[in-house]
Structures are given as C-alpha cells and as structure tokens.
Amino acid sequence: MPSILNTTDENFIKDFDSLLLTKREADQDVDDIVSKILDDVKNHGDSAVIELTAKYDRLNLTSDTLAFSETEIDEAIALVTTEEREALELAAKRIRDYHERQLPEDAWWIGEHGEGLGWRWGPVEAAGLYVPGGLASYPSSVLMNAIPASVAGVDRLCVCAPTPDGKCNPLVLLAARLSGVKTVYRIGGAQAIGAMAYGTDTIEKVDTITGPGNAFVAAAKRRVYGNVGIDMIAGPTDSLILADADADPEIVACDLVGQAEHGYNSPVWLVTDSKELAEKVIELVPGYIESLPGTNRENATAAWRDYAEVIVCSDREEMAATSDDYAPEHLTVQASDLDWWLDRLTCYGSLFLGEETTVAYGDKSSGPNHVLPTSRSARYTGGLSVHKYMKVVTYQRSTREGAKRVAESCARISRLEGMEGHARTADIRLAKYFPGEN
C-alpha cells in the first residue's frame, strides 16, 4: 500500500525516475533471444517461422496454414453474439469517425519570388498489426491499430496474432474484418515481427508495424526499426488522476484499480491538494482490488503495492506541475474548473476531463486512440494516429525569374559550407537564364 507523499519530499521524483529507468532497460537475455529469432526469420523465412511457432506456441503449421482462411474467419465470426457484434460495431464507428477528422491536407502556395512550394500526404503501402494473446486477446487493440491505417488509405493490412491452440478469439477476427483487414496470420512473438519486417515466401513485407506485445515483441520492434517504421517502444501502461477536495473518492479509487489491473508493473498515481481525499482513497482501494477476479486481482494488488503513489500538493498549480513532470500515458482530471486544467496541462498521452469520462472509455470505444506514449514519453510524442500510417512528401517548381534569388542564395551558402558542386548547380542556371549578369 502506498504512503502519502508530499511534494516537499525530495525523494519522490527521484524514485519515479528510477522506476522509469527500470522500465526502459531491455533485459539482455530477452534481447539475445530476440536477435537470434530475427536472424533466423530473415535468413530462413517460412521454415523459421514454422519451427519457432512450434517451439514457442506448440502449434504445428505449414506455409498453407500460416493464415486463417476466409472460411475459418466466417465460421469464427458466426459465433459472435448480436450484443457483442453491436458493441464492436459502435466502437469501430466512433474510432473511424474520430480518425477521419485527423486526415491532413495537402498544401501548395506561390512564394514571394514566384516559386511554387508545397507538400502532399500519402499512405504507406502496407502495414502489419500485432495483436497479443490468442483467445485472451483484445479486439479493441485491433480496432485501434487497424482503423487509423484503413482511414489513412493503406492498401494492404495484415494482422499477426499468437494462437497456441490454432484458434483465435472470434471477436478479434470480427474486429479485423470491421477494420478492413484481409489477412490474419496465426503467429506471434518476435518471429511474427520478423516475418512482417523482412518478408517470407508467404508473408509479404510491410512498411510499418504497430501494436502492443510482451517484452519479446517490444525488443523485436526495437531491433527492426529502421528497416520498417514502428508506432513506439512502449512500457507498462501508466495512469495519473488529478483530484481536488470535491472529487468522489469512490470513483477515484475505482478508476485507479481499473488501470492497475493492466499488469503487476503498471503504475497508478493520485495527485491531489486534499489530504483527506488521499487518505480516503487509500482506505477504499484494497476493497476494490479484492473484489476483482483472479489474475486481475493479482495484477492490481502488485501494481498498487509496488508502483502506486499518492501525492499531496499545496494547490492546483503544483498539482499540474507534478502531472506534467510525470507526463502520464493516461491523465484524468476530477476537479473543478475543467477549462483551467485543459489550458494548463501540457504533457500526457490522452486527457480525460471530468468524472463523466474515464480511461476505460478511451481504452475501448469512445474514439480517440488507446495506443499512447508510456514511461514519460508524452514529453515529446503523442499517441497512434492516422499520421503514423502516412508520409508527407515535399515538392517545388518555379519560373526562372522566381528562382533567381534562391539560386544566388544557394550558391553563396554552398560555398560558405565548402560544397562547390552544389554552388555550380545554381551558377549554371543563373548563367543560362540571365546571361551577362554577375
């Protein structure tokens, strides 16, 4: 159980930094194993993927059975109840509507000297989406990764999902279909990342890979980055709640536990200006944890015991400054004057303003993406979006007169930088277009 920390305690930020360092460090054993797996897949393609799947997932495949057939997908989707389908369809619609608004616009304008400058946005050709877990996996993860790619206009989408018994959660397959995914491979782990990054006889190489996974998947994504694009290197999920004296301690406690169940090492933090609220939440949390089932209870217990913090600040400005320093993946505000918080806060993956919202809404179905920066990465990046599946390319054209001053500037700067060849590409045009001028 966490004790109450005050911002005057010089150790609490230092301890947090130590936690982040631990989360970011890659286990050398994991890295060594992943390196061998990726080399094997790169050199031996399908045969390596098949052997590794048999070794780690105890599933015997052939090149012909690496992917689910249309018939298999249809039969699995037929098992989905009407209520389950409707829930996924609602989530898919909201996620699609939200991400369609993110589509960037091309631009073109005429500069002050008559030269034309612009940029154009376009999708990558192919994206690979990793979904963890087999029968225990998450259809919401499919929707969050695949729908932005579909909205961006990516032509070819595939999903890799580990299936130790050869089957996949029907909801995952339905989510893939609702998202426009045509191909679902029944492979997981680092070998799936390698197959998508390098390509095999059966699995076509992609341009970017997104999606969460375990330590082996994260290490594999880190290693293939550069050969392909990736969404981010994510650590355990983290959540922070800003609450003032008027916040409902029952809801605050429930929300903290709801995020702590993610995993044994998922930090949850409460930052408040009310010691009374802090004490009441600490009192309530164990009861909410105890009421959870099995693994959820074990995860929340460990996260609350080992990674939770309750911090009491002097006022809301200090609360906001503390939050910005932590740069949480999920940030909830349960305090008065929500507009002030919206204007003041700067570092977070996704912001949930008011008691009427909660992180779980964003995780599952409200619309914004749930693939977000962890481990303080929100200081410099945002979450997954349509833009991750797109490229911006620039272009220019000009009249001769319009390029004259640019050419003169280019020639001088090139010579200042010792690049005579660059300068002469400007000189030759000036001489041709403006003969007799110096």
Any idea which residues carry the catalytic annotation?
A: 329-330
CB contact at 8 A, 152 and 389? yes
Residues 6+ apart with CB under 8 A from 385: 99, 102, 148, 369
Helix%, strand%, coil% for the chain, nearest 5: 50, 15, 35
**Helices 28-57 & 189-198, crossing angle to 10 degrees?**
90
d(CA 352, CA 354) in angstroms, rounded, equals 7
Backbone φ and ψ for 370, nearest 5 degrees, come out as -100, 0
Residue 277 main-chain phi, psi, to 5 deg: -65, -45
Residue in the structure block whose two tokens are 């300068």: 423
Alpha helices (H) in 25-121, listed in sequence order: 28-57, 70-77, 82-100
Bridge partners (DSSP) of residue 270 are: 241, 310
8 Å CB contact between 266 and 307: yes
Calculate the alpha carbon distances from 310 to 3, 256, 268, 279, 354 in Å: 7, 11, 9, 9, 19
Q: What is the DSSP string of 305-346?
A: HHT-EEEE-SSHHHHHHHHHHH--SEEEEESS-HHHHHHH--
Q: Which of 357, 361, 370 is nearest to 144 (CA)?
A: 370
Length of the chain: 438
The pair of three-digit structure tokens given for residue 46, joined into one six-digit string: 């399908």
Rounded Cα distance between 51 and 156, Å, is 26
Cβ atoms of 102 and 386 within 8 Å: the answer is yes
Cβ atoms of 171 and 135 closer than 8 Å = no
